[in-house]
């Protein structure tokens, strides 16, 4: 039954997104509650995802410099110039370009772990990369914005938001999952809890997608004029991310499961973390909020495609594997 649930997860996610768009359109009064629940849902989603990874003794299995090097090179050396090139397609509007750079320059550190798990990737390697990714984002995002747009005033705000995301969305769920696994190991009859939690990543991710879609309908419908400019940029980014993952996995001679991690890491961006940054921007930068919201919705559909494309075509299981 669980195998069937995971095999049909893409259809469940698509239904959740469509239902969220419908609720956001016809019952806007309920959107506030859904937006309030989004962060706890994300934290719970990561907790149950982490419980499906053997965290006890994890450090002994993560001495993989080649994977970490590939993830760092792709996310922080190759993708920024790609994003800068895509931005040249846009009109010369500082708010519009700032929003695209803000949302595409840094990789996701939350739900990409769940997509990696559901897509058959090496979740242990993905977890190992997460703290390194956050540290590099803290250091490099202000630098990128300065290089590409000359923006330095938001550096402190950006760093504070990233630190809060790391503590609330990564560190606490990770510690809770580790303690849960230690508790389960102390008695044979406790393992059932971890096994039962394995049913939850798919429905919880569906709830997250439902909440995001419902909460952003008004922003999207009020900004359809920008979609013609932004959609090619976001779709082009997803295509470039998939190709880059394939190339770097071959260049660094990574196993299939770690190649899948690269694909989900390169393709997903930190939209949930940078959205509060966009909302805090001064007057005249309202378009940046629209950009982040539209990117997150395009990414939702893109990750559904990745769940099919990555394990079946981009990084299929080896014969006899």
Which of 11, 31, 56 lies closest to 212, judged by CA? 31
Count of C-beta atoms within a 10 Å radius of residue 265:
29
The pLDDT score that the predictor gives to residue 277 is 67
The pLDDT score that the predictor gives to residue 159 is 59
Find residue 107's DSSP bridge partners: 269
Q: Tell me the CA distances in angstroms from 51 to 64, 172, 181, 204, one per residue in order.
A: 22, 13, 7, 14
For residue 180 the two structure tokens come to 């849960």
pLDDT per position as a tens digit, 79-124: 999 999 999 989 888 888 888 998 999 898 777 888 998 899 999 8
- For the whole model, what pTM was predicted? 0.77
The pLDDT score that the predictor gives to residue 67 is 95
The pLDDT score that the predictor gives to residue 7 is 64
The pLDDT score that the predictor gives to residue 163 is 64
At how many degrees (to 10) do helices 94-104 and 79-87 cross?
160
Greatest alpha-carbon span in the chain: 62
| Distance from C-alpha of 232 to C-alpha of 212, rounded to nearest angstrom | 22
- DSSP assignment of 65-92: HHHHHHHHIIIIIIHHHHHHHHHTTS-S
| Distance from C-alpha of 119 to C-alpha of 99, rounded to nearest angstrom | 29
| Distance from C-alpha of 198 to C-alpha of 180, rounded to nearest angstrom | 13
The pLDDT score that the predictor gives to residue 283 is 67
Domain assignments of the chain as residue spans, ordered by start: 2-310
The pLDDT score that the predictor gives to residue 165 is 61
Q: Which residue ranges of the chain lie beneath pLDDT 70?
A: 1, 3, 6-7, 53-63, 150-169, 219, 272-273, 275-277, 279-283, 320-321
The pLDDT score that the predictor gives to residue 57 is 57
Domain 2-310 architecture = Up-down Bundle (1.20)
| Distance from C-alpha of 148 to C-alpha of 112, rounded to nearest angstrom | 26
The pLDDT score that the predictor gives to residue 92 is 84
The pLDDT score that the predictor gives to residue 1 is 67
The pLDDT score that the predictor gives to residue 157 is 57
The pLDDT score that the predictor gives to residue 249 is 97
């Amino acid at each position: 039954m669980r195998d069937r649930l995971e095999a049909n997860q893409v259809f469940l996610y698509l239904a959740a997104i469509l239902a969220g768009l419908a609720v956001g359109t016809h019952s806007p009064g309920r959107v506030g509650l859904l937006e309030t629940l989004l962060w706890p849902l994300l934290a719970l989603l990561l907790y149950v995802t982490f419980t499906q990874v053997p965290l006890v003794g994890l450090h002994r299995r993560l001495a993989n410099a080649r994977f970490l090097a590939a993830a760092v090179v792709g996310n922080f050396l190759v993708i920024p110039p790609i994003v800068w090139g895509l931005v040249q397609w846009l009109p010369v509007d500082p708010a519009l370009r700032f929003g695209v750079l803000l949302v595409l320059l840094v990789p996701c550190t939350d739900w990409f772990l769940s997509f990696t798990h559901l897509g058959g990737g090496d979740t242990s390697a993905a977890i190992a990369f997460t703290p390194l990714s956050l540290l590099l984002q803290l250091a490099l995002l202000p630098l990128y914005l300065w290089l590409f747009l000359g923006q330095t005033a938001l550096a402190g705000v950006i760093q504070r938001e990233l630190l809060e995301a790391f503590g609330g969305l990564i560190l606490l769920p990770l510690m809770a999952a580790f303690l849960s696994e230690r508790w389960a190991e102390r008695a044979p009859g406790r393992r059932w809890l971890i096994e039962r939690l394995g049913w939850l990543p798919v429905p919880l991710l569906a709830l997250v997608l439902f909440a995001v879609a419902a909460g952003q309908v008004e922003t999207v419908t009020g900004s359809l004029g920008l979609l013609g400019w932004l959609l090619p940029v976001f779709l082009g980014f997803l295509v470039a991310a998939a190709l880059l993952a394939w190339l770097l996995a071959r260049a660094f001679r990574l196993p299939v499961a770690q190649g899948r991690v690269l694909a989900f890491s390169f393709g997903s961006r930190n939209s949930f973390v940078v959205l509060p940054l966009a909302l805090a921007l001064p007057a005249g930068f309202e378009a940046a909020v629209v950009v982040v919201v539209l990117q997150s919705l395009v990414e939702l559909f893109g990750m559904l495609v990745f769940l099919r494309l990555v394990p079946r075509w981009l990084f299929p299981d080896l014969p006899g594997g």
